[in-house]
Structure 1
Amino acid sequence: MVAGIAIYGMALIVLIVSGETTVRFSADTGEARPVWMLWIPAGVGLVIAALIPPRTAASDRFADAEPRILTRDTWLLVAAAVAFAVGFHLARGDDLWFLILKGVLLLAFPLLVCHVGWAEWARLDVRGRWLRPAIAIAAFLLASIAMDPGWSGNPPDVVTVLAVFLINAVLEEIFYRFWLQTRLESRYGRWPAILLTSLLWAAWHSAIHGGNGLLVDSAAAILNIGVTGLFLGYLWSRHRNPWLLIAAHGFMNAPPAMLAAMA
């Protein structure tokens, strides 16, 4: 946990020293914002989530798992996340390689090598786990809309939006939060798991949100995508409602300004 916090601190120092405190916030547009503005939605969501306790405590699905197997699966998933980030950087953000690497490392590899299931979280009992996390997500979304200056990129078509939703929102939440973070939590505790997962999730985004060199781009991704990952990870840890996380992630990929530009 200390190492994770230190990495966030070092990322902030890198941006301050480099003078690159205004960063790209999306791969779909070249616009940039001050990095502190990008923290507001996640910060608001985190505060609301912390103030509203879950109706019932989230259970540890792997409490009775064999420790050796759980540890093996956990670090194999971590290795897959690292390989995806490194491979995507080596591919220089190429779209085809993005699909190949994501399909192989974040889906096929876990299903074939680790003890995971495609729908293991779809079967979760989410009764009583809707309203309270939905309030935190609503606060996050409203803050995101309030900070949204509009959309200047080329509006995508409906097929593209749906494909992005499945490939990014659904698959990424399944891999990073449902599969990886939950196992890290069971093995090492809530905040170490949230911090590591958020950093791994942010790592690959620096290949598409940057343009200022690997160090600065990585720092910008950590302080943008990583901070959002802290919110999503905390919400998952507290409430275990996969559908709300997928919906929130989908909103981030297709904000109202983008959808309005499509109309």
Structure 2
Amino acid sequence: MRLRRTGDMLLAAGILVFVAAVVTLVWTGHTALRYSADNDNTLSLWAICLTVLGGLAVARLVPPKPDDGLLPGDPRTTRQAWWLFTLGLVFAVGFYLSPGGDLWFLGLKLALLLAVPLSFRLVSWREWYRVDTRGRWLRPLPAMLVFLTLFTLFGHSYTGARPDLIALIAVFTLNAMLEEIFYRVWLQTRLEKSYGRWPAIALSSLVFAVWHVTIHGGNGFGIDLAAAVVHIGGYGIFLGYLWSRYRNPWLLFVVHGIINAPIPMLAALW
């Protein structure tokens, strides 16, 4: 009961953060959110919200596979969750304060999101690739299709040079796969066991969003933080709900991979 009360407080705090981020962007007139610091293309705040809400609504209409309940968390699980949450925050702060560059980013990510959790036995690598996905492929597809359709229609275009296949594979592995394993399969699952679905989704989405402050924005820390919370945190909410409801990590990889490399970019390979 105590953990559930804490979960309610965490959920309320998470909702407050998301609402404050939206209000900040609207109040300051920053409703066109940049793709990233090195890309001047923008996305409408409302398009992002509609994309996320559309995916959530369809996922809510399609029931999950039965017998998908979680056993209550024990003190060890709760400690693991908060250690993982702390590592996520350290990664965000470390990346923000680092001198920059791909090597720093890669080193911090591999160390804090992979090596440390495994070395200190906070997690097990088997947690994601031994997930039973039987009966969990067709049910999530309507929500995925709605989300990705809205994602593509609302301006997630690609206007750059022909992408490099090797680079796309590297980005998919180090970003889509590693981030979904850490933030959803490892962190969110433990938070769910302790505090329930929505507090876990809110917390994991926020810590997932904050490290993007460095690469999404260019309007000052406060606005960039609000933009990352709404933009990346919103996508994190959809991905978190997809994981909580259907427990299929492979579908998370696909959606996250397309977010990182939109469909027009993938089409440019051909």
Is TM > 0.5 for Structure 1 vs Structure 2? yes
Residue 33 of structure 1 aligns to a residue whose secondary structure is: strand
| Letter of the structure 1 residue corresponding to residue 215 of structure 2 | I
2:22 equivalent to 1:12: yes
Within 5 Å, give how 1:57-136 maps onto structure 2: 57-60=67-70, 63=72, 67-91=74-98, 93-136=100-143
Partner residue, 2:248: 241
1:165 to 172, 176, 187: 172
In structure 2, the residue matched to 1:232 is: 239
How much has 1:47 moved relative to structure 2? Answer: 0.3
2:43 counterpart SS class = strand
Does the 8 Å contact 2:55/2:143 carry over to 1? yes
2:219 matched to which residue of 1?
212
Q: How many residues align?
A: 260
Give the Å deviation of 1:146.
1.5
SS at 2:33 equivalent:
strand
Corresponding residue for residue 37 of structure 1: 47
Task: State how far apart, in whole Å, the 2-side matches of 1:151 and 1:188 are.
Answer: 40
Distance between the aligned counterparts of 1:256 and 1:192, measured in 2? 31
Counterpart in 2 of 1:142?
149
The residue identity in structure 1 corresponding to 2:142 is: I
Deviating more after overlay: 253-262 vs 106-115:
253-262
Q: Deviations over 1:40-95 (max 9, x none)?
A: 222111000011111314232x54x6x22112211110000000000111125532
Query: Does the 8 Å CA contact 1:39/1:228 hold for their aligned counterparts?
Result: no
Could you list the runs of 4 or more consecutive aligned residues of structure 1 that deviate by over 6 angstroms after TM superposition? none
Q: CA deviation at 1:14?
A: 1.4
> What amino acid does structure 2 have at the position aligned with 1:81?
G
In 1, Cα distance between equivalents of 2:149 and 2:135: 23
RMSD of aligned residue pairs (Cα, Å): 1.6
Displacement after TM superposition at 1:118 (Å)? 1.8
Give the letter for the 1:77 counterpart: L
Q: After TM superposition, give the deviation of residue 9 of structure 1 in Å.
A: 0.9
Distance apart, 1:26 and its partner CA: 4.0
Secondary structure, aligned partner of 1:30: strand
Residue 21 (structure 1) shift: 1.4
- Larger mean CA deviation between 164-173 and 133-142 belongs to 133-142
1:117 maps to a residue whose letter is S
The alpha carbon displacement at 1:221 in A equals 0.7
CA shift for structure 1 position 32 = 1.0
TM-score (norm 2): 0.91
Output the TM-score relative to the length of structure 1.
0.94
Identity of matched residues, %:
50
CA pair 97-212 structure 1, distance change in 2 beyond 3 A: same
Structure 2: gaps of 5 or more residues: 1-10
